[in-house]
Chains A and B, each alone.
Chain A
């Protein structure tokens, strides 16, 4: 009863002094905005990183990297074989804890062209079919290579939609989706036939945006009709990991070897080494054992020369989590300070307010308000100011996050989370209650006579 009335009175007080209330609430508004905004940015980062992680092949993927031989093996450095298909076969035969081995032989700086069209960027790699599972690819059109393609080093490729966009035209520009199966493209002048195409990889954020655009177009409310399609900011949206994945060109490993590497591109020396050998472990829980096993096998094939190393995504996840934790901590700290300042502002204004209302408080006491009644009333008033400020802060933070999205477009679009909003409002209510304690005690102690006499 009294609580409800106090809330109503608190709202009336806010309304009665609009400018003053707004200034008072400013601290809380900014505090909530920074808290929610910060959380949204961090969430955006987190989402982007997680998506990128999956786009790159998931957490159970282990990368094998070349490494300079250790100092104590320096004299053996010229005998270091590097990672080759020998390792792939050895691992497949001798390392049961390894489920999947995917050798990759990438061709850097090749020119992809078709007629007068070129793609400036590409990820042109010779692979085995195991790459599909390794890098989590989905073949949407056509087929992948088979053993015959591999054995005969046939000039066939499977491409990503990015390459298709560059050489055949984007669906959004051409007006229809082109599936260039059977078409021929040139890689460094050599003709290759496209036998398959992957699905288009996009981040969740971009998927949402596209769905929205589609919906708007369907309802005929699209603003794009008024002019050229506005692109927010610069560069490509949707995340670099997805973007890169869409620029994939896969050809059989043997094709890459026979048609490019064996001729010794650039240097004139044939280079049978793999650029990458990714493995997936059979049991994620036995990651350590699996890596040790792989290391043992590879030490044999490398005659004890440790010119390789393993890089797990776990390390990367750890890094990501650490970054997120740090960002959260510093963000929370800043937001906490602004909320604290907001609380002090509220305390200040409540002290001024009760001094203005000594007479009113006296009247309430004369007609029967007890000290605790008054205490509760002032406390609730203070909390109401803070909560109203907090709710306004939520609105402002929505705008703020929108603004960030416009000003600094990146793959990590900030995302407001309900948790952050709940925490922010809860925290501002707490700040309001704490800020109200001192004024409330003061008001509760007013003697009714003194208060009534006060002019």
Chain B
């Protein structure tokens, strides 16, 4: 069974009596350890898809299974618990809490997981070491560069050791070079065996992943065969052209 299973998922919004199908009958499997990008222009429904995949939202129709949990039936508190334990989020605007320093920001998910103080500090330090920010523990987010802030956000996403990392336009607010550093970090996470899902509108960024899921008008327009890409994952991630050729 795949880590994430979507079956006939629709998300319908009602805006002033008009029905908007942000997602229209989407079925999708994402296996454990995959490095996937979800790509599409703005308004295509990719954000909605990410919200549903990330348990931030529930579908109007269809079923979502995450690591064996029926998401569409879960209560808000259960969803929060799933997000806390199984998912790490990285956002375009970093979304760090401005009043907390770097370590406290990274500790935040563990507070809600009920981890004890000393263990929290230890795990946060480990996660920050991993993103090479072990020397900026007491800084406020506003005292860090964009790339550093995003690395803090990644540390925060990793700290509860989740199975899935969601990144929503993680390089959108960064310059090209810093963006590459961040993408390299995701690639490393993927190589370490985590499931990484990258949401972007930029095909160049999507090109780093072996598998791409393209969304148009709420439907999956095209996808790269996971098994094909998986055969040559390292090569594919190294040369974007190969991934395209593999399609």
Contact = CB atoms under 8 A, between A and B. Distances in A.
A372 interface: yes
B56 A448 contact: yes
A447 B57 CA distance: 8
Contacts of A2: 111-112, 114
Interface string B110-152: 0111101100000000000000000000000000000000000
A369 B80 contact: yes
Interface string B75-119: 011001101110001010001111100000000110111101100
B190 interface: no
A16 B99 CA distance: 8
Contacts of A449: 51, 56-57
B93 to A, nearest CB: 9
Contact of B109 (A13, A362, A367): A367
Nearest to B107: A5
B77 A368 contact: no
A370 B112 contact: yes
Contacts of A13: 99
B81 A370 contact: yes
B195 interface: no
A366 B111 contact: no
B97 A363 contact: yes
A369 B89 CA distance: 13
Nearest to A369: B112
Contacts, number: 67
A367 B108 contact: yes
Interface string B163-204: 000000000000000000000000000000000000000000
Contacts of B156: 367
B23 to A, nearest CB: 14
A371 interface: yes
B83 A367 contact: yes
Interface in A428-455: 447-449, 452
Interface residues of A, number: 25
Contact of A366 (B76, B83, B85, B116): B83
B95 A452 contact: yes
A452 B89 CA distance: 12
B10 interface: no
Contact of A367 (B51, B57, B112, B117): B112
B81 A359 contact: no
A1 B91 contact: no
Interface string A336-369: 0000000000000000000000011011111111
B37 interface: no
A449 B47 CA distance: 10
A367 to B, nearest CB: 4
Contacts of A210: none
A352 to B, nearest CB: 16
B84 A368 contact: yes
B160 interface: yes
A12 to B, nearest CB: 6
A13 B83 CA distance: 26
Contacts of B51: 449
A363 B56 CA distance: 11
B77 A371 contact: yes
Contacts of B117: 1
B13 to A, nearest CB: 11
A452 B91 CA distance: 10
Contacts of B108: 363-364, 367
A373 interface: yes
B95 A365 contact: no
A-B complex: 6 closest residue pairs judged by Cβ atoms: A368-B84, A370-B80, A370-B77, A367-B109, A368-B112, A363-B95
Interface of A: 1-2, 5, 9, 12-13, 16, 359-360, 362-373, 447-449, 452
Interface of B: 51, 56-57, 76-77, 80-81, 83-85, 89, 91, 95-99, 108-109, 111-114, 116-117, 156, 160
Given A365-B83, A452-B91, 18 more contacts: A1-B111, A16-B99, A360-B97, A360-B98, A364-B97, A367-B84, A368-B160, A369-B84, A369-B112, A370-B76, A370-B77, A370-B81, A370-B112, A371-B80, A373-B112, A449-B56, A449-B57, A452-B95
